[in-house]
Chain A
Amino acid sequence: MIQPSDASIAQHAATDDAPVLRVRGLRKAYGELIALDAVDLDIRAGEIFGLLGPNGAGKSTAISCICGLLKPSGGSIRVRGHDVVARSVEARRSLGVVPQELALFDDLSGRRNVAYWASAYGLRGSQRRERVDAILEAVALIDRADDKVETYSGGMKRRLNFACGVVHRPQLLLLDEPTAAVDPQSRRKLLDLVKAQAERGTSVLYTTHYMEEAQALCDRLAIIDHGRIIADGTLDELRQRSDERDVLTLRGTFPDASAQSLVAALSGVELIRRDEEALVLALRGAPARLPELLQRFADAEMTVREVTLAQPNLESLFLRLTGRALRT
């Protein structure tokens, strides 16, 4: 089996514009129940793509279809041009999977676990040893590599689970909520590892229901609900599409009538709340307009001591798009 080298992945990332993963019209039905419907996705080389949705939205079903565990009821999935149904072996060779649940042999050492999955992707001999050591080093488990997994903490197991999925340096990495039930330190470490994979040219499909993770990590996002993609794009594109305004909170000294008349004179700015020491304003493009606003308050001899900007986040975006909170 031919293994992709770092150089080949980087070259692929640099020269090949074809998406590493292309999903068109993906449909998965269980009798009457439609788990996925008309899902389209494109993930380019080196891109971290977030698939965001509440539990039961269809994220894991999509991952299962992409890695060939489930046969789609309709549509097509291509990994590096290989159809995952018709050319499953070729497609799977390019994949790395980090499942939501731990997938480890508890009674073996961490090193044995990683070596097993390295073998599953054709790594042999010294190459396998080097890759195993390198990834154990990367996930900060090299010191405990020869201990049985059953002696590891939850965070260590999560990192090992990740190592098993990437030891063969896949071109497309499927991460199904890899930080579920992970302590903050291990979560940060895992997110760094995901970024490092993308920097090497690996494309990442990352499912999560943690908004902050998606915001911090993903180049592009798709929001899925009831098996359908309801919005996709970059975070900024999604914000714009949501038609939600930024919320600007100004703290200082704001005399009653003059503050109100000043705000009324500002175009596109709505006064949400006012008291002696604070003004809460709603407007679009607040970061860009902030210098102008501060100047207008200074000219009106009103002192602004503190500014707080709250932009619409994925949480509010999801709420607006689906009518329900994400963690349900």
Chain B
Amino acid sequence: MIGEIVRTSLRQRLAQPITLATWVVIPAMIGVLMAAIGFAGGRASSPTVTVLLVDPDGSVTGRLLDLAAGRQDNLLLASTTADAARQQLDDGRATAILYLPPGVDRALLDAAPVTLDLVLNPSQRILPDIVTALTDIALDAAWYARRLLAEPIEGLRDRETVTLIDLAVLLPPIQRLTDTHLPPPLTLEVAEAAVDARQPARVRYGATIVPGLVAMMLLFAAGGLADDLWIERDAGTLRRFLASPHAIGTLIAGKLIAAGVIMAAMAAIGLGLGWAIARQSLAGTLLALMLMTLMGVTFCALYMTIQMFAASRRTASLLTNLVMFPLLMVGGSFFPLDQLPGLIGTVGRWTPNGRTVALAESAMRGHVEPTAIAAALALLVLLSVPAVALLARRLQQRGAEG
């Protein structure tokens, strides 16, 4: 009889291709959106502070500022003429114009007063403040340099013009000062994971979100398939089945097997695409398929149980969604698990779906942890068995209600 129930359930579901497609398409659309946001995030540059430098002398000060700016990722210092600078600022293509007056080098060497003009772009909000702060820092740096390096600078004052090469005399004392007064408080050594180094960001991102999206598909499908029992109750076929010689467990088993077949097919499509994109472990992908399908069947059993305790089919659907969406949020479906903050991430990894997603991700990368997989399977069984027992009891009551 189980076979007949499975065949009948599958026929009923295949007769509703739009419903089946919905369970796949909605998560797929969310996935496409997430991927689009992720890729855009990878490509998009942070706001750049563009400072136009007007330096009619082509001064050493201007060259030094240019060198300093070149070491900053988000700071662009471009030398230009006063007219061109004004035009760019008016067009909104620059954050500020810094005017270095003629004789700025001499003034700095002689510690004579000098005025730098800084014109800010009023149409920008935060970037001009950054330029103001950076200019203040530069001026402070010049003031300290003048005092800390007073002796070698005095040696340069005799020269009519100073070039960058002439400034080389400043390097030994700067090095001494750095060694004695400014030792680095800590040293960072940055190493990239080998797998990340080999794979393009697009592939890494795709492989990370695919298990979460497949979990989302399966949770949607589980919610929809769990509705089968309400359909049977409303149609009266549940009551008729309860009057047949078969135990109610036969009906539940048939329904769950049919659900498993549908969910395995859906998971195979999703994980297959993930494998095709990321070209990761085939064996691991198959293991992920098994884990995902079992997770889907477990959720189907849980949803069936929850729904049968609802007073109406509408309430049943609402209850399912109340359970489903928080689990999707923390379980690695809407956001990758490793991007979830502290406690939420920890909770997410302990949800049945989050745990399965994490293991599936790991398996697809070729890392199989038998103990963790056994624990996950045990968790799924631990949830399924009491759920099915409770469901069988509840179905007897509901069927008798007529």
Binding site for B on A (CB under 8 A): 1, 60, 64, 67-70, 89-90, 92-93, 95, 97, 99, 101-108, 112, 115-117, 119-122, 164-165
- Contacting pair A107 B243 (CB below 8 A): no
- Contacting pair A105 B8 (CB below 8 A): yes
Which residues on the A side are within 8 Å of B243 (C-beta)? 67-69, 92, 95, 97
Which residues on the B side are within 8 Å of A64 (C-beta)? 400, 402
When each residue 239-275 of chain B gets 1 if its CB lies under 8 Å from chain A and 0 otherwise, what string results?
1111111100000000000000000000000000000
Q: For the complex, what is the distance from the CA of A120 to the CA of B235, rounded to whole Å? A: 17
- The 5 A-B residue pairs with the shortest CB-CB distance in the complex, in nearest-first order: A103-B236, A67-B243, A119-B4, A103-B240, A92-B245
Which residues on the A side are within 8 Å of B242 (C-beta)? 68-69
Interface size of B by CB at 8 A reads 21
Beyond A97-B243, A112-B8, list 8 extra A-B contacts (CB 8 Å).
A99-B239, A104-B236, A106-B235, A117-B244, A120-B245, A121-B244, A122-B245, A164-B240
Which residues on the A side are within 8 Å of B15 (C-beta)? 107-108
Which residues on the B side are within 8 Å of A120 (C-beta)? 1, 4, 241, 244-246
Quote the shortest CB–CB distance from A46 to chain B (angstroms).
22
- Contacting pair A119 B1 (CB below 8 A): yes
Q: For the complex, what is the distance from the CA of A68 to the CA of B242, rounded to whole Å? A: 8
Q: For the complex, what is the distance from the CA of A101 to the CA of B1, rounded to whole Å? A: 24
Which residues on the B side are within 8 Å of A112 (C-beta)? 8, 11
- Contacting pair A108 B8 (CB below 8 A): yes
Which residues on the B side are within 8 Å of A93 (C-beta)? 245
Binding site for A on B (CB under 8 A): 1, 4, 8, 11-12, 15-16, 235-237, 239-246, 399-400, 402
Which residues on the A side are within 8 Å of B246 (C-beta)? 120
Smallest CB gap from B401: residue in A:
A69
Smallest CB gap from B237: residue in A:
A103
Which residues on the B side are within 8 Å of A1 (C-beta)? 245
Which residues on the A side are within 8 Å of B239 (C-beta)? 69, 99, 103
Q: Kindly name the residue among B237, B242, B243 whose own CB sees the greatest number of chain A CB atoms within 10 A.
A: B243
Smallest CB gap from A91: residue in B:
B245
Q: Kindly name the residue among B12, B242, B399, B402 whose own CB sees the greatest number of chain A CB atoms within 10 A.
A: B402
Quote the shortest CB–CB distance from B146 to chain A (angstroms).
88
30 A-B residue pairs with CB within 8 Å? A60-B402, A68-B242, A68-B243, A69-B239, A92-B244, A92-B245, A93-B245, A99-B239, A101-B236, A101-B402, A103-B235, A103-B236, A103-B237, A103-B239, A104-B236, A104-B237, A105-B12, A105-B235, A105-B237, A106-B235, A107-B15, A108-B12, A108-B15, A112-B11, A115-B4, A116-B8, A120-B241, A121-B245, A122-B245, A165-B240
Smallest CB gap from A95: residue in B:
B243
Which residues on the B side are within 8 Å of A97 (C-beta)? 240, 243
- Contacting pair B8 A104 (CB below 8 A): no
Q: For the complex, what is the distance from the CA of A112 to the CA of B12, rounded to whole Å? A: 11
Quote the shortest CB–CB distance from A70 to chain B (angstroms).
5
Which residues on the B side are within 8 Å of A102 (C-beta)? 235-236
Smallest CB gap from B399: residue in A:
A69
Quote the shortest CB–CB distance from A151 to chain B (angstroms).
13
Q: For the complex, what is the distance from the CA of A102 to the CA of B236, rounded to whole Å? A: 6
Which residues on the B side are within 8 Å of A104 (C-beta)? 235-237
Quote the shortest CB–CB distance from A295 to chain B (angstroms).
57
Which residues on the B side are within 8 Å of A164 (C-beta)? 240
Q: For the complex, what is the distance from the CA of A95 to the CA of B243, rounded to whole Å? A: 8
Which residues on the B side are within 8 Å of A165 (C-beta)? 240
Which residues on the B side are within 8 Å of A99 (C-beta)? 236, 239-240, 402
Smallest CB gap from A94: residue in B:
B245
Quote the shortest CB–CB distance from A175 to chain B (angstroms).
13
Q: For the complex, what is the distance from the CA of A112 to the CA of B15, rounded to whole Å? A: 13
Which residues on the A side are within 8 Å of B16 (C-beta)? 107
Smallest CB gap from A120: residue in B:
B244
Q: For the complex, what is the distance from the CA of A165 to the CA of B236, rounded to whole Å? A: 13
Q: For the complex, what is the distance from the CA of A90 to the CA of B245, rounded to whole Å? A: 7
Quote the shortest CB–CB distance from B123 to chain A (angstroms).
63
Which residues on the B side are within 8 Å of A89 (C-beta)? 245
Q: For the complex, what is the distance from the CA of A70 to the CA of B239, rounded to whole Å? A: 11
Q: For the complex, what is the distance from the CA of A6 to the CA of B8, rounded to whole Å? A: 29
Smallest CB gap from A67: residue in B:
B243
Q: For the complex, what is the distance from the CA of A117 to the CA of B242, rounded to whole Å? A: 12
Q: For the complex, what is the distance from the CA of A300 to the CA of B246, rounded to whole Å? A: 73
Which residues on the B side are within 8 Å of A101 (C-beta)? 236, 402
Smallest CB gap from B244: residue in A:
A120
Which residues on the A side are within 8 Å of B11 (C-beta)? 108, 112
Quote the shortest CB–CB distance from B18 to chain A (angstroms).
13
Q: For the complex, what is the distance from the CA of A1 to the CA of B244, rounded to whole Å? A: 12
Which residues on the A side are within 8 Å of B240 (C-beta)? 97, 99, 103, 117, 164-165
Q: For the complex, what is the distance from the CA of A69 to the CA of B243, rounded to whole Å? A: 6
Quote the shortest CB–CB distance from A14 to chain B (angstroms).
26
Smallest CB gap from A168: residue in B:
B244
Smallest CB gap from B15: residue in A:
A107
Quote the shortest CB–CB distance from B235 to chain A (angstroms).
6
Quote the shortest CB–CB distance from B313 to chain A (angstroms).
15
Which residues on the A side are within 8 Å of B245 (C-beta)? 1, 89-90, 92-93, 120-122
Which residues on the B side are within 8 Å of A108 (C-beta)? 8, 11-12, 15
Q: For the complex, what is the distance from the CA of A164 to the CA of B239, rounded to whole Å? A: 13
Q: For the complex, what is the distance from the CA of A103 to the CA of B1, rounded to whole Å? A: 18
Which residues on the B side are within 8 Å of A90 (C-beta)? 245
Smallest CB gap from B400: residue in A:
A69
Which residues on the B side are within 8 Å of A119 (C-beta)? 1, 4
Which residues on the B side are within 8 Å of A106 (C-beta)? 235
- Contacting pair A70 B236 (CB below 8 A): no
Quote the shortest CB–CB distance from B14 to chain A (angstroms).
10
Q: For the complex, what is the distance from the CA of A1 to the CA of B4, rounded to whole Å? A: 15
Which residues on the A side are within 8 Å of B241 (C-beta)? 120
Q: Kindly name the residue among A64, A89, A120 whose own CB sees the greatest number of chain B CB atoms within 10 A.
A: A120
